[in-house]
């Protein structure tokens, strides 16, 4: 067992995920070692089917690895029960989904309050924090709108507010701009930049080089393995990413 580095919010070692579909096995993750520092802006890139979403599911505690260890904020996650995992998701992780996944027929305010509902905050506290989060994403004047009364970009900002409302240790986003047009996508990415600037840990999964380029560090995944790990284009426009050829990189 490696010592936990307190600077690392994420530490995975030998993460393997195998999907069994009848007689066939899909090795979606094939030994992933990944460390993410607190406050880092990381993007995970790779072609479709390479295992990005699977990795993201592991990092978000949405699913358990077949093998390997995962420490989130210093806590080994692989041994936790389902209820404990739910609590971890609730307190430490903020999700942004490609399809927004807002509750239809509920106002933006209610949607953002949702995670607080299960962390024991009082009603007034919930209202205040949800409102703050909506202001952070620039929707302070849209709190009473329902998802179908909002544009795609506004919906994704509500989702971002919902991800932030619990003040999570990491913000995880899977193809956050996948359902948005370029201009609106840019707005969302600017918000990510701001959040990073405020010191948040951000992990964005994408197949789009433009999106990946905004991160300070890019990890490239192919066939369930990390094949490249280096600075993002914006930070190292001249340097080509360093190839990775062994575990423990980063």
Partner 1 sequence: MLGRKLRREIGRQKGQIGAVLVVMALGISLFVGSYAGYLDLDASYARSQRELRLADVHVDVVRATAADVARVAGLPGVEAAEGRVVVSLPLVVPGADRADGGAGSVKVEARFIGLPGEGQPDHDRVFVQRGDLPGADDEVLLEFHFAEGHRISPGDTLEVPLPGRTAALKVAGIAASAEYLWVARDAQDFMPGPQEFGVVWMRRDGIRTLAEALAPLPPPLGLGLALAGTAGGSAHATAVAAEAGASNQVLYMLAEGADPAAVKAAAGEALGEGNALASTSRDQLVGVRLLQMDVDGLRDMAGFFPVMFLAVGAFIVAALLSRLVDAQRPLIGTMLALGVPRRRVLGHYLSFSLGVGAAGSVLGALGGIALGALLTREYARELRIPFVSVEVRPGLVASGIGIGLLVALLAGLGPARRAAAIPPAEAVRPSAPPVGRGLTLFRHVGAGLPVPVRMGLRNLVRHPGRAAATAAGVAASLMLVLTTSALVDSMDRGIDLQFQEAMRYDLRADLLLPQPAEDLGGRVAGIPGAAVMETVLSLPVRLSAGGRHQDSLLHGVPRGASLLRSVDFDGVERMPRAGGVVIGRPVATKLGLAVGDPVDVSLLPSGTPRRLRVDAVSDTTLGGFTVMGLEDARGAFGLGGLSNTVLVGLASPGDREAVRAALQELPGVLRLHDVASVRVELGRMMGLAYAMVGAMLAFSVVLAAAILFNTATLAILERQRELATMRAIGRPMGSIAAMITFENGLLGLLGLVAGLPLSVWAIREALALYSSDLFSLPFVLTARTFGIAALGVVLVLLVAEWPGLRQVARMNLAEVVRSREG
Ligand X SMILES: Nc1ncnc2c1ncn2[C@@H]1O[C@H](COP(=O)(O)OP(=O)(O)O)[C@@H](O)[C@H]1O
- Residue numbers at the binding site for ligand X (CB under 6 A): 19, 21, 26, 28, 46, 48-54
3-state secondary structure of 225: strand
Binds 21, which of Mg ion, ligand X, partner 1, none (CB < 5 to 8 A, cut-off by type)?
ligand X
Residue nearest to Mg ion as judged by C-beta position: 53
The least distance separating ligand X from the CB of residue 239, rounded to whole angstroms, comes to 25
Q: How far is the CB of 55 from ligand X (least distance, A)?
A: 7
Looking only at the bridges linking them, the beta strands covering 225-231 and 75-76 are unpaired
Count the site residues for partner 1 by CB under 8 A: 41
Q: Which residue has the tokens 């927004």?
A: 100
Among 8-16, 92-100, 189-197, 228-236, the segment contacting partner 1 (CB under 8 A):
92-100
- Which residue has the closest beta carbon to ligand X? 53
Whether residue 36 contacts residue 218, with contact meaning beta carbons closer than 8 Å, is answered with no
Smaller CB distance to partner 1: residue 147 or 232? 147
**Cβ 10 to ligand X shortest distance, Å:** 17
Which CB, 65 or 230, lies closer to partner 1?
65
Decide which of Mg ion, ligand X, partner 1, none touches 49; Cβ closer than 5 to 8 Å per partner kind: ligand X
User: Toward partner 1, which CB reaches closer, 113 or 229?
Assistant: 113
Nearest residue (CB) to Mg ion, 136 versus 206: 206
Does position 63 interact with partner 1 (CB under 8 A)? The reply is yes
The most distant pair of C-alpha atoms in the chain lies apart, rounded to whole Å, by 53
Measured distance CA(112)–CA(139) in Å, rounded? 11
Q: Could you give the string, one character per residue 167-196, with x where binding to partner 1 holds by CB under 8 A and - elsewhere?
A: -------xx--xx-----------------
Asked if 235 is part of the footprint of partner 1 (rule: CB under 8 A), the reply reads no
Q: Which residues of 138-156 are buried (b: 16+ CB within 10 A; e: fewer)?
A: ebeebbebbbeebeebbbb
Backbone Cα Rg of the chain: 18
Tell me whether residue 102 or residue 218 sits nearer to partner 1 (CB atom). Answer: 102
Q: Which residues bind partner 1 (CB under 8 A)?
A: 53, 56-57, 60, 62-63, 82-83, 86-91, 93, 95, 97-105, 110, 113-115, 117-119, 146-148, 155, 162, 174-175, 178-179
């Amino acid at each position: 067992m490696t010592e936990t580095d307190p600077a690392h919010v994420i530490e995975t070692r030998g993460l393997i995920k195998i999907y069994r579909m009848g007689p066939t096995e899909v090795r979606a993750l094939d030994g992933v070692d990944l460390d993410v520092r607190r406050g880092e802006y990381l993007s995970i890139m790779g072609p479709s089917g390479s295992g990005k979403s699977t990795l993201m599911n592991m990092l978000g505690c949405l699913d358990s690895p077949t093998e390997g260890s995962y420490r989130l904020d210093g806590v080994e996650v692989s041994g936790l029960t389902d209820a404990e995992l739910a609590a971890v998701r609730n307190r430490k992780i903020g999700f942004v989904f490609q399809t927004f996944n807002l509750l239809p027929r509920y106002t933006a305010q209610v949607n953002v309050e949702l995670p607080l509902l299960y962390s024991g905050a009082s009603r007034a506290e919930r209202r205040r924090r949800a409102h703050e989060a909506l202001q952070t994403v620039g929707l302070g004047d849209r709190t009473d709108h329902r998802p179908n009364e909002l544009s795609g970009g506004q919906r994704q900002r509500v989702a971002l507010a919902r991800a932030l409302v619990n003040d999570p240790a990491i913000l995880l986003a899977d193809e956050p701009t996948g359902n948005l047009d370029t201009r609106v996508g840019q707005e969302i990415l600017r918000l990510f930049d701001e959040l990073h600037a405020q010191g948040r840990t951000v992990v964005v999964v994408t197949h789009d080089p433009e999106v990946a380029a905004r991160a300070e560090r890019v990890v490239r995944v192919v066939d369930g393995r990390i094949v490249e790990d280096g600075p993002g284009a914006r930070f190292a426009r001249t340097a080509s990413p360093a190839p990775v050829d062994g575990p423990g990189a980063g």
